[in-house]
Amino acid sequence: MANVVIIGTQWGDEGKGKVVDLLTEKADCVVRFQGGNNAGHTLVVNDQKHIFHLIPSGILHPDKTCLIGNGVVIDPGVLIKEINHLQEQGLAVTPENLVVSASAHVIMPYHRALDAAREKRKGKTKIGTTGRGIGPCYEDKVGRAGIRIHDLLDRTVFTEKLHRTLEEKNFLLEQFFHEPPLDPAAIEDEYLAYGERLAPYVESVSEFLYKMDRAGRNLLFEGAQGTHLDIDHGTYPYVTSSNTVAGNACCGAGIGPTRLHRVFGVAKAYTTRVGSGPFPTELLGDTGIRIREIGGEFGSTTGRPRRCGWLDMVVLKTSIRLNGLSGLIITKLDVLTGIPQLKIATTYRCGSTQRETLPPALSALETCQPVFEEFPGWEEDIRQVRRWADLPRNTRDYLLALEELTGVPLAIVSVGPGREETIILQHPFETS
């Protein structure tokens, strides 16, 4: 038995969906523990593309149980749409293989309205949120004014909470943001219908996991976004609204820390980020455009083009410290094929000092310049390679340098988007 956490080590979009899909073969339960439908996982299985926003990507495997933990904020309309879409494709999505936490908070229409209104008001200083209402929903959760999934199953409780909360939200929308108010009656009908549709899936994820753990099942915990979008440890304020680090698997799923055995971090062979915020290794010229086009670097959720840059050891080493990584999983290595000279940022020069980890202050980070080490690229097509020894010499040298610089062993190398386009060096569920 092993319980494994998979997290992103950069600014999200590292390819965690493919990794989780791959590891689900040896897992019994796959658990999403934070974020909302601002995350997106794109998978290619049998040449068919699947995009997930809330349901763990393990749903593509039969006889596996997928769980959405209490740490996730759920837009019920989006979740139902995902369920319907998968069912229309002939995939089983039933209360036997999908469990939704009764304690998860619900994204309401006023959360989306406030999210959009705030970004509009900020203009050029906007954070670059997805506009899905994630942040405002987490605000209500912390402010003890949130509506949870189990509230949708009780008309009296839901109606009372909705009307009390909407009075304040409409005041903000009308008086401060000069936006139209929302109709409580329309929201009431819509969301009670959502509750009725989701009711068969709703139970305590924490209790479910406790039973599975005691029965010796393998549990796989799936994070959304990446370490440097963490609300506490990321490049604040250009972050998401939840804790994306591995430690939040306990809080967001309701499992004790002694029950987590290993943490594996996913990193692209280069670096990307979406939206505003510092990005020291960003490539603004032709190479960055080339990586974006070949790598398909456009958001699964928003379609926004991602900013692309060289692999950054400072970013990666900070993630190693924050997450206590057992191993590294490298994705999209094939995208670098054909680039004559590759670079890895090994440190930052910040004024008169050298740094190997990110400074906590945004103002300090903005003054830092990356110090690069160069590596020869490769021309060979690596997408058909399945063994380490068959990789081109320069490809292996690049990966070995990455392993040496981080001090963390490589576990998996992805050489293409397909499930089978993978080299497994140490399987997270088989590591002793």
Catalytic machinery residues: 13, 41
Closest to 372 in 3D by CA, of 298, 271, 289: 271
Question: What would you report as the CA-atom Rg of the chain, rounded to the nearest whole angstrom?
Answer: 22
Rounded Cα distance between 184 and 206, Å, is 32
Question: What is the torsional sign of CA 15, 273, 100, 186?
Answer: negative
Looking up tokens 């340098």 gives: 401
DSSP bridge partners of 52: 41
DSSP 8-state secondary structure symbol assigned to residue 298: B
Rounded Cα distance between 205 and 211, Å, is 10
Rounded Cα distance between 209 and 254, Å, is 8
The answer to whether 245 and 322 have CB atoms below 8 angstroms apart is: yes
Rounded Cα distance between 329 and 410, Å, is 6
Kindly compute the dihedral angle of the four CA atoms of residues 368, 329, 245, 95, in this order, to the nearest 10 degrees. Answer: 150
Rounded Cα distance between 267 and 110, Å, is 35
Q: Which two tokens stand for residue 196?
A: 């009725």
Other Cβ atoms within 10 Å of 267 Cβ, number:
26
Residues ≥6 apart with Cβ < 8 Å to 182: 109, 110, 113, 166, 169, 170, 173
